A and B are shown apart, each in its own frame.
Chain A
Amino acid sequence: MSSSQFELTDPPRDAISALKFAPNDANKLLVSSWDRNVYLYDTHDGESGRLTRTFEHPAPVLDVCFGQDDNEAFTAGLDWNVRRINLETGELEFLSSHTAGVKSVAYSSTTKLLISGSWDCTLHVHSLSDDRSAHTTCTVPLPSKPFSISMTPTKVVVAMANRAVYIYDLKSLALLCSHANSTDNTQNIVEIEPLQRRESAMKFMTRAIACMPNDSGWAASTIEGRIAVEWFDPSETSQARKYAFKCHRQTVDGVDVVYPVNALAFHPIHGTFVSGGGDGVVAVWDGVAKRRIRQYQRFPTSVAALAFSANGKYLAVAVSPGFEDGKEDPEGVVKVFIRELGESETKGKASK
């Protein structure tokens, strides 16, 4: 392994919940943390990056995502609120309030929709048109708590408790949302039929979900060291292609220790994906060829989040202690690693 990996300076003081690269600038990285801050880094300023700014929130931040451009971001908080951050001015704007902690946010630049998922078993769909007065928000009830949300240009996939996976069509969500007339989101409850209702291919709780960049399917991971790869196409041939495999396990004294797979991220260009587990291992997989491409040297603690830069050149790995090994109060190193990827490092093998 070469030294093309470095540690970011000034990492968050507490566990990291999410990290995201900007949609354009491959050096702009947002990190959200349980220490109630969102951190903005310039990853290639100097030897080991620079902390550009922090945005303090009233409660731990559970997720962050970029908006329409590199200067807009959205956060999901444990204080039940969804906010917008103007990264230039540092202004925080309240968008909506759930009735429980907000676990995830995702923004679709094609439909200008922001979707937030909360433990109150709802999604909030924010239609964020350029005209601010025309913003509407509606609430989509879900059967269970959403744990992870991932988007493609046309769909949003929501992974929930009880192994439920719902796929919504973004366009129809946008249409419904634009017809909502009340500005109070509690009034706009939208009973929308999902495009597809799926049951997770795995027995245990879904931990993370990530969609393929080519809009053909997704990968989901569970707390029980397993990843499933599935396809949107409901045809039988496509469904027959879905599979699941075990990973992030270690045999210690004959006992198979199974770690949760906390993070998944697809490479925007090659279509391969990385998984990060509670064992501190990051592995690169080729979902189509069903091969592991490589596995990186173990990180000091559990991998909490992963992100590829938009140009696919960098991989950010957030390392923070989790609930592994029954620790009640997780403590330990919190770090962000940026890895510069070699040309063929995450490329699947060409089928010969």
Chain B
Amino acid sequence: MGKKKRKFPSLEEILQRPWCYYCERDFGDLKILISHQKAKHFKCERCNRRLNTAGGLSVHMNQVHKEQLNSVENALANRQGLEVEIFGMEGIPDEVKAQHDARITQQYWEEQAARRATTGNPTPGGASGHTIKRKKAKIESKEEIEKRLETYLRQVEQGIPMSEIMEGIETAPETVPTPVAQQPFQAPQTSPPPFANHPFQAPFAPPFAQQQAPFQPPFPVPVQPFSGPPMAGAPFPPVPGFSPPGGQPFPPPFHTPTPPFAQGAPPPPRQGSGSAPALPQRPQFSAPPVNAAQFQQMHQGAAPSHTVTQGAVDELISSARQSAQAEEATQTASKPKKEKNTRMVYADNEISPEEKMAQLPKYQFTRGAREQQGSVLRSATGTVGAGATGVVRE
């Protein structure tokens, strides 16, 4: 299984690879890194001598060739300076190191997501990185549901404020968290109990499956004070950030900023509370996609215990959907997709920059002046053979 491991190295392994400060390339071995630096960055362009450090090269250039070294050859634009003394992995400033680690980590997760999107499989060892506590769909029996509806109606009749009702509902039986692996491809339930408390979603179901998948409403349907008219044909409300086929009955409550790696990437493992500085920014929990009713609920002081998790789940759903869509887009029409991400500095394919420039008023050459000039020149060439026009300045 060694082969498999080499194919998908873990994040730790990647982070441990030595890399070059000047060009951000990474190497399998420190020795190779050092020889790379000597060949690419510390080589004297006059005599091809390979020095060990930029400082060494500077001294060499100074003494041997009487030249001043100003920048490190072949380096990235912001790494050309001579101030830092680099040898192999030594001397790299901490913040640069942290930046590199962050970049590598982000790239790693992006790759993981891409691989997941293409293969549809959880990555080897990667699945353990996504032990997001998931709520098991709570299945209530018909009697239980009826009983709850009854209680609710009674409460409404009694004129109990909505917030209290909500709180009461919130304390409804808590569900058991289930590990992802246990139900990754659960088939869509055909007859969803209408009042289940928590949404359920197969973690990486393809988008069309999601559309068919019956979502349980986050809370009982009748208790939706601000979410518009009750839906006739739809037994469940749409999950925010997910438009049901055939129109959108509810406008999205508010826009959730896309986390930096939401583009097809699942969030990194959520273990521990604080994030290490090297890790990419976590998705914002401050504004999870919640619908109007939840929003209302939160404003009334009842911070629901499951809202955060639900936000994360929604996020996961939407990101998985996004990645799948991106996948589809690249498969069907890769060209327009590519163009979307590029910006041409000069995009006029018909008129050359010079012609554009010639149209500027300051370069405008009036026809009259030209003709005059031309005729003068022509007559000059005609008579003398070598017409000397134009002004010559010393």
Residues of A within 8 A of B (CB): 1-4, 15, 17, 34, 53-60, 62, 78-81, 83, 90-94, 97, 101, 103, 119, 132-133, 145, 147, 161, 204-205, 207, 223-225, 249, 254-260, 262, 278-279, 294-295, 297-298, 322-325, 328-330, 342-345
Contacts and interface: CB of A to CB of B under 8 A. Distances in A.
B143 interface: no
A255 to B, nearest CB: 5
A79 B365 contact: yes
A34 B381 contact: no
A223 B355 CA distance: 14
Nearest to A345: B45
A83 B345 contact: no
Contacts of A254: 341
A205 B360 CA distance: 21
Given A79-B374, A93-B386, A344-B45, 15 more contacts: A1-B69, A59-B370, A60-B358, A79-B370, A90-B392, A101-B355, A119-B355, A161-B352, A258-B342, A260-B344, A278-B346, A294-B74, A323-B356, A323-B357, A345-B45
B345 A294 contact: no
Contacts of B348: 205, 223
Q: Which of A1, A133, A258, A259 has the most CB of B within 10 A?
A: A1
A120 to B, nearest CB: 12
Given A92-B390, A204-B349, A205-B352, A344 B48 contact: yes
Contact of A255 (B342, B363, B380, B387): B342
Nearest to A223: B346
B141 interface: no
A328 B361 CA distance: 11
A58 B46 contact: no
B67 interface: yes
B374 A2 contact: no
Given A90-B392, A94-B380, A59 B343 contact: no
Given A60-B363, A103-B354, A324 B392 contact: no
Given A2-B70, A34-B357, A119-B355, A94 B377 contact: yes
A192 to B, nearest CB: 24
Interface string B359-394: 010110100011001100110110001111111111
B344 A224 contact: yes
Contacts of A295: 74
B39 to A, nearest CB: 11
* Across the A-B interface, the 6 shortest Cβ-Cβ residue pairs: A90-B392, A92-B390, A94-B377, A256-B342, A2-B67, A342-B45
Contacts of B391: 56
Nearest to A204: B349
A137 to B, nearest CB: 11
Interface residues of B, number: 53
A230 B360 CA distance: 35
Chain B interface mostly = loop
Contacts of A257: 342-343, 345
Contact of B390 (A3, A55, A207): A55
B69 A223 contact: no
17 contacts: A80-B370, A91-B386, A91-B388, A93-B387, A94-B380, A101-B358, A103-B354, A132-B386, A207-B352, A223-B349, A257-B342, A258-B345, A259-B346, A294-B73, A297-B80, A298-B77, A345-B45
Interface in B111-155: none
B210 interface: no
Contacts of B356: 323
B61 interface: yes
B332 to A, nearest CB: 20
A322 to B, nearest CB: 6
Contacts of B387: 93-94
Q: Which of B347, B381, B392 has the most CB of A within 10 A?
A: B392
Interface string B74-89: 1001001000000000
A81 B80 contact: no
A3 B357 contact: no
Nearest to A295: B74
Contact of B389 (A15, A34, A92, A101): A92
B12 interface: no
B337 interface: no
Contact of A93 (B48, B68, B388): B388
Interface in B308-359: 341-350, 352-358
B346 A256 contact: no
Contacts of B358: 60, 78, 101
A2 B393 contact: no
A68 to B, nearest CB: 16
A94 B378 contact: yes
A62 to B, nearest CB: 6
A307 B100 CA distance: 38
B65 interface: yes
Nearest to A132: B385
A45 to B, nearest CB: 15
A101 B342 CA distance: 32
A255 B341 contact: yes
Contacts of A255: 341-343
Contacts of B347: 223
A342 B370 CA distance: 46
A54 to B, nearest CB: 5
Contacts of A330: 357
Given A2-B45, A257-B345, A344-B45, A56 B392 contact: yes
A57 B363 CA distance: 12
Interface string B189-218: 000000000000000000000000000000
A278 B390 contact: no
B357 to A, nearest CB: 7
Contacts of B374: 79-81, 97
A260 B345 contact: yes
Nearest to B389: A92
B296 interface: no
Contacts of A322: 346, 353
Given A15-B357, A343-B46, A344-B45, A2 B365 contact: no
B352 A147 contact: yes
